[in-house]
Chains A and B, each alone.
Chain A
Amino acid sequence: MKTIDASNMHYRDLNAVVDAESLKEKNLIIKNVYGQRYIGRGLSCGIKMSVYGVAGNDMASYMNGAELEVFGNAQDALGNTMNGGKVVVHGNAGDTLGYAMRGGQIYVEGNVGYRVGIHMKEYNDMKPIIVVGGKAGDFLGEYMAGGVILVLGLNLDKDEDIIGRFCATGMHGGVIYLREKQDPYKFGKEASKVKLEDSDISFLKKQIGVYSKEFNKDLKHININSFSKYLAINKNPYANMYCVY
């Protein structure tokens, strides 16, 4: 276990220290993080890192298998083009979380911003998962091409919605699970609600289990059957739009 003090460090220096230390030590702690960017970028399998403070933009970008745990909030673009690994955020996270994410899992205890899971994709056994404890902003799962987004909608006020508008606009792959049914007007025309299958139920149970364990929460009150599932209507949504000239 190695502790790095990030106070007054530029991100370039901090990340260079993390690179150097991760060669010697697989368990790292970074204390006093104040928005430094790119923490854990490209970090490989076998490394576990705890981050205390506010993680800056592009945390875990291109990450390749490491495990990060943030005790605080994360800013924008967490998990940008992430290839594998796991990120747990004990707080909220910002916009474009999981942009073009191709593998791994991101668990956010609280809320997330706009355009979360945009252009998420999957390939063979790489199937990224984003689990959000609270609510998500507009354009959730925009251009989504693969993977899974699950929004639990915990601890919301009566007038708060679990998602914003334009959810799943341009979706052409992947799955979105939302707790409780949502008004159709909030969705792009490319997604449709489908029935929950047994495999969905077991997936949801498993992920809710992971969430409650990671954040130490009792979620027994959640009714699995209250979830709704959304899929892309078409894998090739624009196939008939063009003629060759």
Chain B
Amino acid sequence: MSLNFDFPDFEVVRNEKNCNKCKVCVLECSNKVHFYDENKKTLNVNNSKCVNCHRCVVLCPLKALTIKKYPLEFKENSNWTSRAIKEIYKQSQRGEVLLSSMGTSNKFPVYWDKMLLNASQVTNPSIDPLREPMETKVIIGRKPEKLEFNSKGKLVTEIPPQVELNIPIMFSAMSYGSISKNAHEALARASSELGICYNTGEGGLNKDFYKYGKNTIVQVASGRFGVHKEYLNAGAAIEIKIGQGAKPGIGGHLPGRKVGKDVSSTRMIPIGSDAISPSPHHDIYSIEDLRQLIFSLKEVTEYKKPIFVKIAAVHNAPSIASGIVRAGADAIVVDGFRGGTGAAPTRVRDNVGIPIEFALAAIDQRLREEGIRNHISLLVSGTIRNSADIVKATALGADAVCIGTAALIALGCHMCQSCTTGKCNWGIATQEPDLVKRLNPDMMYKKLVNLILAWNNEIQEMLGGMGINAIDSLRGNRLMLRGIDLNEKELEILGLKYAGQ
């Protein structure tokens, strides 16, 4: 088609006074935005290809580059925004489905920011975590109704399998394929050092990473890639992925071009073959069927591994969660609709699901009402941006949180939201060897360790301020939260009083 209405999103601005034509920008840009004209001896840019990943800006030794929003404006119209118009230009060009990466960029309320934490004053004194013991370890898994001891004081109750997390944070499921091997290594090593867990996603477990098994959650999703007995027994727990916050109801699709030799051997599929995870598990059409899968995994791991079930936060999440508890799972992972992804249809990402704050509060409430909250651990994810979000999630009822986007940002992600292209200049969401090696796991895993330790210190400070010395004591304690800028219905669902009440 000859006439393409599309125009660049960004403009690369070169300060010619500073630029010494070292061509680092040309070398570093996998999108080929920068190019050198040998005849004219000039450095030029093709703005159309720029995704605003900042790679050239960060690496330019003389800081001669900046990237700006492309200055072209449409006539102002509150309904037909620039984005709405550009989407139509794109789709009418070739009839394609819009595909986006990372979490939604639409403006939805972030309820974490509408909750405020309490602190002790005068009575129930605050605790100083720098000088007093402060527990942030959590134990994830199904808990027995009661503990029974024999006459000698020995525990006779059979305790279901548990996963210990030194800090109530896990790295969200991100498959090898969607992210690089070096990114996986950084996540695995950081988890190992921190005493937490990362998650394989539906990409299998690379043979080089079996040694991090006790810090690994292995995932089973509808495509069953790389799933076999050894894999299932390799991790600390198994997660059945039903859904994901960024694309509830939608499966996964790793395009064949990202399935190179190593991804192929980890997923156990031929090189270059599309890895398609169907939207549903075709052996699960009911809670009873889910129970069948949960127990097939328990059977093949001799009942030694906790089984997590991950769902997207959707309208009837509380009833589904109740079903998951009754199906025999050991933990539920709920992923809110602002959560990230390597690729999701834009319309699904931006329109399907509910915020994690509501889903969490509603599920916790429902399970308490049914008297089964203690049967299971509740993990949440989908825009956990900082330690305060974690403390608030805990007060709303979460046992721990999972972070994906925040972890990737620590690894150098600049949120250009172009993961699907596979050309990630930061070596994260790519399988191209030259790009993957830009992410040095030796160096970058320490950034993850730093981030989590910093958050842990912050969590301890906030807990201490509330006069609480163990995160377990905050769980579900909504009196430690107050709402601000929320209406009555929102307060009711979140189970909160208003600030000042």
Interface residues of A (CB under 8 A from B): 11-12, 15, 19, 37-38, 41-42, 57-58, 61-62, 64, 76-77, 80-81, 83, 96, 99-100, 102, 115, 118-119, 121-123, 126, 142-143, 145-146, 170, 172-173, 235-245
CB neighbours (8 Å) of A240 from chain B are: 96
The SS class assigned to the B binding surface is mixed
Q: Which of B265, B268, B345 contacts A121 (CB 8 A)?
A: B268
Interface set, chain B 356-370, CB cutoff 8 A to A: none
A145-B276 in contact (CB<8A): yes
Chain B hits for A58, CB < 8 A: 292, 296
Residues of A within 8 A of B274 (CB): 172, 235-239
CB distance A100 to B276 under 8 Å? no
Chain A contact residues: helix, strand, loop or mixed: loop
Q: Which residues of A contact B418 (CB under 8 A)?
A: 244
Binding site for A on B (CB under 8 A): 87, 90-91, 93-94, 96-100, 222-224, 227-229, 232, 253, 255-256, 264-265, 268-270, 272-274, 276, 278, 282-283, 292, 295-296, 299-300, 302, 343, 345-346, 418, 420-421
A81 with B99, Cβ < 8 A, contacts A145-B273, A172-B273, A245-B87 known: no
Q: Which residues of A contact B270 (CB under 8 A)?
A: 122-123, 146, 173
CB distance from B247 to the nearest CB of A (A): 13
Q: Is the Cβ of B229 less than 8 Å from the Cβ of A42?
A: yes
Q: Whose C-beta in chain A lies nearest to the C-beta of B229?
A: A42
Separation in Å of the A77 CB from the closest CB of chain B? 5
Contacts of B91 in A (CB 8 A): 243
Residue of A83, A146, A243 near B97 (CB, 8 A) is A243
Q: Which residues of B contact A242 (CB under 8 A)?
A: 96-99, 343, 345, 420
- Are A170 and B300 in contact, CB atoms less than 8 angstroms apart? no
| Contact between chains at B96 and A121 (CB < 8 Å) | no
A99 to B220, CA, bound (A): 13
Contact assessment for A37 and B296 in the assembled complex, using a CB-CB cutoff below 8 Å: yes
Residue in B228, B253, B265, B269 whose CB lies within 8 Å of A238? B253
B282 touches A37 (CB 8 A): no
In the complex, how many angstroms separate the beta carbon of B235 from the nearest chain A beta carbon?
A: 14
Q: 3 smallest A-B Cβ distances: which pairs? A: A100-B224, A243-B96, A242-B99
Nearest-neighbor residue (CB-CB) of A121 within chain B:
B269
Q: Please tell me if the beta carbons of B228 and A81 are within 8 angstroms of each other in the complex.
A: yes
Closest B residue to A115 by CB, please name it.
B282
- The closest CB in chain B to the CB of A44 belongs to B229
Contact A243 B292 (CB under 8 A): no
- B253 proximity list for chain A (CB < 8 A): 238
Q: 6 interchain pairs (CB within 8 A)? A: A37-B295, A77-B292, A81-B228, A99-B224, A173-B273, A242-B99
Q: Which residues of B contact A61 (CB under 8 A)?
A: 296, 299-300
- Cβ contacts under 8 Å, A41 to chain B: 296, 299-300
CB distance from A6 to the nearest CB of B (A): 15
Q: Across the interface, do B299 and A170 meet the contact criterion of CB distance under 8 Å?
A: no
Q: Are A38 and B295 touching (Cβ within 8 A)?
A: yes
Closest Cβ of chain B to A152, distance in Å, is 24
Query: Is the CB–CB distance between B282 and A96 below 8 Å?
Result: yes
Contact partners of A244 in chain B: CB under 8 A: 99-100, 418, 420-421
Chain A CB count within 10 A is highest, among B96, B232, B292, for: B292
Complex: how many Å from CA A19 to CA B346? Answer: 48
The distance from the CB of A107 to the nearest CB of chain B, in whole angstroms, is 21
Known: A41-B299, A123-B270, A243-B99. 20 other contacts (CB 8 A): A38-B299, A38-B300, A41-B300, A61-B296, A61-B299, A62-B229, A81-B227, A100-B227, A121-B269, A123-B265, A126-B268, A146-B269, A146-B270, A172-B274, A236-B256, A240-B96, A241-B97, A243-B97, A243-B98, A245-B87
The answer to whether A123 touches B268, judged by C-beta atoms less than 8 angstroms apart, is yes
* Chain A residues in 8 Å Cβ range of B283: 76-77, 80, 96, 99
| Complexed CA–CA distance, A145 and B271 (Å) | 12
A34 to B31, CA, bound (A): 61
Rounded to whole Å, the gap between the CB of B424 and the closest CB of chain A is: 13
Q: What is the distance, in angstroms, from A44's C-beta to the closest C-beta of chain B?
A: 8
- How long is the Cα–Cα vector from A33 to B274 in the complex, in angstroms? 40
B229 near A83 with CB under 8 A, answer yes
Which residues of A are found within 8 Å of B299, using beta-carbon distances? 11-12, 15, 37-38, 41-42, 61
Asked if A243 and B268 make an inter-chain contact with CB atoms under 8 angstroms apart, the answer reads no
> How far is it, in angstroms, between the C-alpha of A12 and the C-alpha of B158 when the chains are bound?
15
What residues on A are CB-neighbors of B420 within 8 Å?
242, 244
Give chain B residues whose Cβ lies under 8 Å from the Cβ of A37: 292, 295-296, 299
Contact B300 A119 (CB under 8 A): no
